[in-house]
Amino acid sequence: MAATATPQVVPGEQEKVQTLDGLEPGYLVICWDDPVNFMEYVTHVFQKVFGWPRVKAEHHMLEVHSTGKSMLVRTSLEKAEHYVHQLHRFGLQATLERTE
């Protein structure tokens, strides 16, 4: 992911990010790192597509940037497909993968 600035994650806010553990099997929506999309743009798209607050969007953006990917949501095939369509529409590298 291309950097133009260093977003700050407010300490303590990460605990509010919903965990994926313990949910029913379904489809994961995963966003993958690339060297071209700006970090601020990725945050902006996450906010638009998922309606997340900035802190949560930045948390996932930083996860993509630092680990190469971030699991964004676990949901039904239909909803996962919708989210992946939206992320691709905005030029992000996103896929859906079935969970066991």
Partner 1 sequence: MKYIGRQGDNLVLVLRPRDREQWIFLLQRYPVYPASDHRLSLSPDAQTLAEQQQFLEETLTEQQRANQTLIEKFVRERLAPPPDEDENSPRAMRLTLTRAEVDWLLEVFNDVRVGFWVRLGRPDSEQMHSAQLMAARPLECASMELAAWAESFLLGALEIASR
Binding-site member from 16, 20, 53, 91 for partner 1 (CB under 8 A): 91
- Residue 55, Cα to own-chain centre: how many angstroms? 12
Residue placing its CB nearer to partner 1 in the complex, 59 or 84: 84
Among the listed ranges 16-24, 58-66, 84-92, the one in contact with partner 1 (CB under 8 A) is 84-92
- Of the pair 16, 98, the CB lying nearest partner 1 is at 98
The CA-atom distances, in angstroms, between 85 and each of 31, 60, 64, 75, 90 are 12, 18, 18, 14, 9
Could you identify the residue written with the tokens 């079935």? 98
Is 50 a binding residue for partner 1 by CB under 8 A? The answer is no
